[in-house]
Homo-oligomer: A and B are copies of this chain.
Amino acid sequence: MKSEGNGMRCEIISVGTELLMGQTINTNAADLARELFSLGIGVYYQTVVGDNEERLAEVFRQALSRAGLIILTGGLGPTEDDLTRETVARVLGLPLFRDRGWEGRLEDFFNRIKRPMASLNLRQALVPEGGKILPNDRGTAPGIYLDLQEGEGPLIILLPGPPPEMLPIFRKQVIPLLRAKLQEKGALAVLQSRVLRVIGLGESELVEMIAPLLKNQSNPTLAPLAKRGEVHLRMTGRGRSEEEVQTLLEGTAQKLREVLGDYIYGEDAEELEAVVADLLRAGNKTLALAESCSGGLLSHRLTNIAGSSAYLLAGLVTYSNEAKMHILGVSPATLQEDGAVSAKVAEEMAAGACRFCRADIGVGITGIAGPGGATPQKPVGLTYLALAAQDFKFSRRYEFWGSRQDVKERVTNTALHLLRLYLLGKLKSN
């Protein structure tokens, strides 16, 4: 994807020896870049530099020579290692003033936690001349916004390093300031993304189905991204207003829904287990799980959704043959003749869970998660999934691939997919 935009070129400088040494992964730069993209602002360079005054000054000087917007994160703490505020002021030739408002906030804070305020902490109330404090609700280091040379020079923004402090300041305070700035310059282009989440199709099958759309589509752009067991389709639209972009995105979403139908299970951050949970609640259905190779992951995923006790009666991880017979009533003859990894055992597990827990729906999963346990006829990843309900019986054979954890993830994704289809009335009894 090309980073076009509205002409404002951004550079991100992340300050911190822990980043440089790899003890912390630089998620801030990626998070900022995605947020800036939605304003049509392209990032051209990201640099990481340690807590070293000379090198930070060098990197900052270079950014001043080529960027219209410079965002620095980190180095605003109270210790002597924290040099960003002072270095930026020195390079710009600006004196530092103490912000009385923030000084009061610091005093309140130390009173509240009943600790004396060290004089070093007062450094966190210093602001280069002309700068504006960006209050921090979660820490003692505020952000700073510098709009120099009456708006003709580059915009400079300093933000604290910890992501839980940095991101709220950026989203709630910096984005509105940047929006206003772009509006003022008549350069406010709106970029928005929307993700359609697809299950039950591989990436190449999906790309084949939407090939005509992919070819003729420029605004919004369309990009498929394969995830473990599902594919995300990202649409990114550009326009002059949110309404205009929303209309564009909805138009394309509509066309995709016509082609992909029930393969689309959700949007944006909506997870498959949450979609299934909503359907269970809406249909007032209860569920019992019988898992073997997925080892409790399906139960774990469904219980990650708050309120799951309303529909999940029990999850039975029956690893041993004894547990399958004893708890679920799987017949010894089936285990003997078809083996534990078979369609019939999956079906008996699903029916057993259903009956034993008096649930509306039972799920049965049996397979080989690997790396051990495979035979030439039954490779790692071979899995049978079954659903049972009153007057309903379904089972299917799958071959999944990848590591043990990949297999568990793909198995549970497929089980959730089948549950969803069943709850939508789209799965046929077999």
Contacts and interface: CB of A to CB of B under 8 A. Distances in A.
A23 B304 CA distance: 26
Contact of A44 (B1, B26, B55, B357): B55
Interface stretch (A96-104, A124-132, A205-213, A318-326): A318-326
Contact of A303 (B27, B33, B37, B296): B296
Contacts of A50: 3, 44
Nearest to A223: B23
B59 A45 contact: yes
A289 B19 CA distance: 41
Nearest to A412: B300
Given A29-B22, A295-B303, A371-B306, A319 B323 contact: no
A228 B353 CA distance: 33
Contact of A312 (B32, B300, B302, B319): B319
Nearest to A309: B319
A13 to B, nearest CB: 10
A316 interface: yes
A327 interface: yes
Given A300-B296, A314-B327, A318-B314, A1 B20 contact: no
Given A20-B3, A314-B320, A404-B304, A29 B26 contact: yes
Nearest to A318: B314
A354 to B, nearest CB: 13
A419 interface: no
Contacts of A244: none
Contacts of A357: 322-323, 326-327
Contacts of A49: 44-45
A49 B45 CA distance: 5
A229 to B, nearest CB: 16
A117 to B, nearest CB: 20
Contacts of A45: 20, 47-49, 55, 59
A314 to B, nearest CB: 4
Given A25-B25, A295-B300, A313-B320, A1 B18 contact: yes
A227 to B, nearest CB: 13
A421 B155 CA distance: 57
Nearest to A288: B323
A317 interface: yes
Interface residues of A, number: 70
Interface string A368-388: 011111000000000000000
A220 interface: no
A224 to B, nearest CB: 13
Interface in A35-65: 37, 43-50, 55, 59
Interface string A8-24: 00000000011111111
A318 B309 CA distance: 10
Interface string A319-340: 1101100110000000000000
Contacts of A326: 356-357
Nearest to A25: B30
A1 B22 contact: no
B304 A299 contact: no
Given A22-B30, A37-B21, A313 B303 contact: no
B312 A327 contact: no
A241 interface: no
Interface in A224-267: none
A315 B313 contact: no
List 8 tightest A-B contacts by C-beta distance, closest first. Answer: A295-B303, A296-B299, A22-B33, A315-B317, A296-B296, A22-B30, A46-B48, A22-B34
Given A26-B29, A304-B404, A314-B318, 10 more contacts: A1-B21, A19-B30, A19-B46, A22-B43, A25-B25, A45-B47, A296-B299, A296-B315, A312-B317, A313-B320
18 contacts: A3-B17, A20-B46, A21-B33, A22-B30, A22-B43, A24-B30, A25-B30, A26-B30, A26-B46, A47-B48, A295-B300, A295-B308, A299-B299, A304-B405, A306-B372, A309-B373, A313-B323, A314-B320
